[in-house]
Amino acid sequence: MHIHKYERLWLTAGLAMLAFFIAVIATGAVVDGFVPPSRVQTIDPTKVAQTPPFDHPGLRKVTDGNYEAYYVAQIFSFSPATITVPVGSKVTFYVTSSDVEHGFSIPETGVNTMVTPGWVSSVSHTFNKPGTFLLICNEYCGAGHQLMASKVEVQ
Ligand code: CUA
């Protein structure tokens, strides 16, 4: 079978790109220990309600303007339902799930992570604008998925 010179060139370039992409993915996986970057620690998903700090989900003040917020995602709600922080606060969110895969997203802030049972996901954001921010589940998790939301009040 005859393969035209240019066709062979394009085939070679295509295969080289494939090999390059696979190498990039493999390197990323090895460097991050086969764990997506936002998963900071593991947790027993059947014991979330007994595992500190997730036995008392909510907001903790670290220093002035610096907060940590611990969330449990479950079908079909987030605990806590609302947190309130002053304008300019940096909030580090720690989220885990006690049942299935959920999402954790605050549109227009860059806060967006998946919430996988067995893992604690973490993401930080500084709230420089006052207002009520909707925190939603953006990963389909069942019949009540569209009802799964919580609020961040910035005053
Ligand atoms: Cu939780 Cu969708």
Average confidence (pLDDT) per 10 residues, the chain, 155 residues: 91 97 90 67 90 94 95 96 96 95 94 93 94 96 95 96
- Ligand 1 contact, 20 CB (< 6 A): no
Ligand 1 binding pocket includes 145 (Cβ within 6 Å): yes
Q: Whose CA is nearest to atom 1 of ligand 1?
A: 102
Ligand 1: nearest atom to the Cα of 102: 1
Residues 97, 21: Cα–Cα separation, whole Å: 32
Using an 8 Å Cβ cutoff, are 66 and 42 in contact? no
pLDDT reported for residue 1: 80
pLDDT at 38: 59
- Say if residues 25 and 17 touch (Cβ distance below 8 Å): no
- Name the residue among 146, 134, 133 with its Cα closest to residue 75: 146
> What is the distance in A from the centroid of ligand 1 to the CA of 43?
19
Cβ neighbourhood burial of 43 (10 Å; 0-12, 13-18, 19+): middle
Quote the radius of gyration of the chain (alpha carbons, Å). Answer: 21
Which residues lie below 8 Å from residue 142, measured CB to CB, with a gap of 6+? 75, 76, 100
> What pLDDT shows up at residue 2?
87
Q: What is the pTM of this model?
A: 0.78
User: Is the minimum distance from the CB of 85 to ligand 1 under 6 angstroms?
Assistant: no
